Amino acid sequence: MTPPLADIRPYLEELERFADGQLTTAEQEAFEARLEQDAELYQAYQAYEQLAADLRWVAGHETLYQRLLALDLRLDQRQAALNRIRRRVQRVQRQWALAAIGSVVLLLVAWALWPSTPTIEATWPRYYVPEAGLTDAVVRENQRPLLAEAMRQYRAGHYTPALYALRRIPSNTIGQDTLTYYNGIFLLSQPEPKQQLAAQPFLRRVAMQSGSALAGRARYHLGMAYWRNQQLTAARNTLRAVANDARNPYQDAARQVLRSGVIKD
């Protein structure tokens, strides 16, 4: 059963500044310390994060719809332009005019068909260090066959079957933080932006569990998920925390991303 939504109003300004990365380093450390000690603040933080995730999910659908409309409009405009040029060519009698207009048509077609890849599509895979998954010694296939199947599918790049197998594993078979962590990893590994965005609440939940051995790893993947979804301030702040943590196995990877300067407004 979903717990009742906590009252976030007393903490709304602080939560917004924390989520937007507007706190100084000292303020952020103090706020995180309060999260560990103040149960009401922590519940309000969870409620705020869930609300923000829901809003981003809705906004993502609306954004995709608007992009599709814009794409249809651009295609109609380009087709109309090509039709106008074709009629103009037919009216031109002289050879030099026909050749010139033909060149224009070729240039327009080449521009319309030239592939354009967003920068994030080219740079994110270059810097992201994927999760290796659990080893066979940890999985123990004879005792946990569903977990072994999930890891096999994940390593083979079959992320949807991996997620399906993972979600069939009983919660008492392996730690809840492990199940939550790999839910986030499998979602983040998928190519669809909607699935990548859905990975964030899972990874954030583990990253906030200071007692979990997976908290540091989850923080790195959460930072990269923020970058993947163009939440640049949150990405920088989260990856800085990873880069400053000597115990985090992804410390060097986080430092490399930050030094490269690829995360910029």
- Each residue's pLDDT tens digit, 187-203: 999 888 888 899 999 99
Confidence of residue 68 (pLDDT cuts 50, 70, 90): low
Whole-number pLDDT of residue 49: 85
Whole-number pLDDT of residue 203: 94
Whole-number pLDDT of residue 99: 73
Q: How far is CA 260 from CA 127, 216, 243, 254, in A?
A: 9, 22, 13, 10
Q: Are 178 and 214 in contact (CB under 8 A)?
A: yes
Q: How far is CA 207 from the centre of its chain?
A: 15
CATH class of 121-260: mainly alpha
Q: Is pLDDT at 111 greater than 60 in this prediction?
A: no
Q: Is pLDDT at 114 greater than 60 in this prediction?
A: no
Give the pLDDT mean for 103-126.
Answer: 68
Whole-number pLDDT of residue 233: 92
Whole-number pLDDT of residue 45: 86
Q: Is pLDDT at 117 greater than 50 in this prediction?
A: no
- Each residue's pLDDT tens digit, 124-170: 888 899 999 888 888 888 888 998 899 999 999 999 999 998 889 88
Q: Is pLDDT at 121 greater than 70 in this prediction?
A: yes
In this prediction, what percent of the chain has a pLDDT beyond 90?
A: 29
* Tokens coding 156: 């083979």
Whole-number Å distance between alpha carbons of 230 and 193: 11
Neighbours of 184 (CB within 10 A): 25
Neighbours of 220 (CB within 10 A): 27
Give the pLDDT mean for 245-261.
Answer: 93
Whole-number pLDDT of residue 93: 72
- Each residue's pLDDT tens digit, 32-42: 888 888 888 88
| Domain edges within the chain | 1-116, 121-260
Give the pLDDT mean for 201-219.
Answer: 92
Whole-number pLDDT of residue 4: 47
For residue 91, report the phi and psi dihedrals to the nearest 5 degrees: -85, -20
Mean pLDDT of the chain: 83
